[in-house]
Amino acid sequence: MALPVAFFGVFFAWPVASIVERGLRPDGTWRFGRIGDTLSRPDILDVLGFTAWQALASTALTLLVALPGAYVFARFDFPGKGVLRAVVTVPFVLPTVLVGTAFLALVGRGGLTDELWGLRLDTSVWAILLAHVFFNYAVVVRTVGGLWSQLDPRQEEAARVLGASRWTAWRTVTLPALVPAVSAAALMVFLFTFTSFGVVQILGGNRYSTLEAEIYRQTARLLDLPTAAVLTLVQFVAVGAILAVHARTVRRRETALRLVPPERTARRPRGVGQWALLGGVLVSVALLILLPLGVLVERSFAGPGGYGLGYYRALGSLDESGTFLVPPLEAIGNSLRYAVAATGIAVLIGGLAAAALTRRAGRLVRGFDALLMLPLGVSAVTVGFGFLITLDEPPFDLRASWILVPLAQALVGVPFVVRTMLPVLRAVDERLREAAAVLGASPWRAWREVDLPLVRRALLIAAGFAFAVSLGEFGATVFIARPDSPTLPVAVARLLGRPGELNYGQAMALSTILMVVCAVSLLLIERVRTDRTSGEF
């Protein structure tokens, strides 16, 4: 079963290595001097500096806004809590290009809050930072809140009985137990914002550029492969270091703690302070999450002559601008077909990989586990462009094949499948498998008869996440989607790149459709979610 893990690693590393080789070995001789030359350029240093700065700022702002929400979801019981948990998770599975579009509708020219205290938000870095908080709010709420909800409150109460103040009891008892979870959440937020592409591409314009956006510019617009290769190496090393720290943090998170069922820790708010905290979190969710999505929907109906379905009807016709070779509405069917195929591939590879990791132990397994997480942070732009220049010769000439898109999307879905299924598979009692083997069952039959019934719900959750992230994948798909078969995120980006009110309105309409499909997928995930997997991404 280790074969799927090895296959995934080779298939993922192949296009990345091809980009590096084309850039640093153009004539058969390695030219490592280009690394120093590139990293000494002022414009590249500015990109690297801004990438690190905005990731740190976005992480700090996300923790500041989301930690109160993590406490509320962990310790309070109130009507509509389950629905609200699904609502705050919706942005996480939305494509980054849609997140950028939502905030463009909110803070762009003519937007609802295009100016705040004399500062134009659409021309400042604040639009990017707020969009990153919007996208990563659920990471903190689920990662920290999942553990917080199971910490035994009696330990803190015992400290209070011994004379400690509320603050001292929380600082000395609860905070040390939460530090690993907070660190893991912070590292994941930093990883996602460090590799941000769609948000920066739409909201940053020509003024702000991250490492990922610069890789896209160097490859797609300037065709400067040496610079793109150097930036790819820098991002690969940075993401590898982040994941190494994250893996260490996760191992610390697995240390023994006194945990109790979440139902025993949640209670109705008591006192003015707790009700005020709950109200503040609800207001922040409304302003930060519901408002951008609501403005996005409103803009999709607001035509020149008033509200109506004009932009939606226009999606079914081919305009004269040459933006598309087919009506934009066909992008919906394309995305659904690609996402279904990508989900099947991701579930097959990720499920087998999770099963293989369950049955092995040691450093090699931890290395494979980290390898499976790399696609979440390594440049999707590099992967997509690498596919084009790698899979261009028989027997792997797939440039004209439809399967190339779901293959690239599956790379992003596999980590979600592994992360969702691995904890459940590890919780299966090994004695059940041994009993099945004693009765004469083959390994395959033992897995089908013992493991599969126990992990069926986790498998459905994994498939739902894989479908949602495949549906919204943009970085790799923007390179390999054919002009006559665009996906929804690619179609939205193309429409936003064209001037005109009709193109903008159609982009809002397509984004709304994409948001609804992703939200429905997430609500289905919440419906089959088990307590054991509720804190996993």
pLDDT in tens, 132-176: 998 888 888 877 877 777 776 777 667 777 777 777 777 777 777
**Beta bridge mates, 259:** 151
Average pLDDT over residues 337-365: 77
User: What whole-number distance in Å separates Cα of residue 366 and Cα of residue 77?
Assistant: 37
Q: List the single range of 56-70, 122-136, 368-382 with lowest mean pLDDT.
A: 368-382
pLDDT tens-digit series, residues 285-344: 888 888 888 888 888 898 877 888 888 888 888 766 666 677 888 888 888 888 889 999
**Beta bridge mates, 151:** 259
**Beta bridge mates, 115:** 120
pLDDT tens-digit series, residues 29-71: 777 788 888 888 888 889 899 999 999 999 999 999 999 988 8
Mean pLDDT, rounded, of the chain: 76
pLDDT score of 448 more than 70: yes
Of 529, 367, 380, 369, the C-alpha closest to 464 is 529
Helix (H) or strand (E) holding 307: strand 306-307
User: What whole-number distance in Å separates Cα of residue 388 and Cα of residue 377?
Assistant: 20
Provide the CA 210 distance to its chain's centre, in angstroms. 17
- Give the pLDDT of residue 438: 78
pLDDT score of 394 more than 60: yes
- Give the pLDDT of residue 391: 67
CB 232 within 8 A of CB 386: no
Spatial CB neighbours of 498, under 8 Å, sequence gap ≥ 6: 321, 323
pLDDT grade, residue 1 (50/70/90)?
A: very low
Of 261, 249, 263, 202, the C-alpha closest to 492 is 202
pLDDT tens-digit series, residues 470-528: 887 777 777 777 777 888 888 888 887 777 788 888 888 888 888 888 777 767 766 66
Average pLDDT over residues 97-117: 66
- Give the pLDDT of residue 215: 83
Count Cβ neighbours within 10 Å for each residue of 106-122 and write b for 16 or more, e otherwise. Answer: bbbeebebeeeeeeebb
Helix, strand counts (H, E) of the chain: 25, 4
User: What whole-number distance in Å separates Cα of residue 134 and Cα of residue 53?
Assistant: 18
Query: CA-based angle 192:379:125, to the nearest 5?
Result: 50
- Give the pLDDT of residue 278: 86
Provide the CA 71 distance to its chain's centre, in angstroms. 22
- Give the pLDDT of residue 200: 84
- Give the pLDDT of residue 366: 57
pLDDT tens-digit series, residues 256-285: 455 556 666 777 888 888 888 888 988 988
Task: Find the Cα–Cα–Cα–Cα dihedral 244, 246, 247, 249, rounded to 10°.
Answer: 130
Q: List the single range of 313-317, 366-370, 448-452 with lowest mean pLDDT.
A: 366-370
Average pLDDT over residues 375-391: 69
- Give the pLDDT of residue 453: 74
pLDDT grade, residue 397 (50/70/90)?
A: low
pTM: 0.76
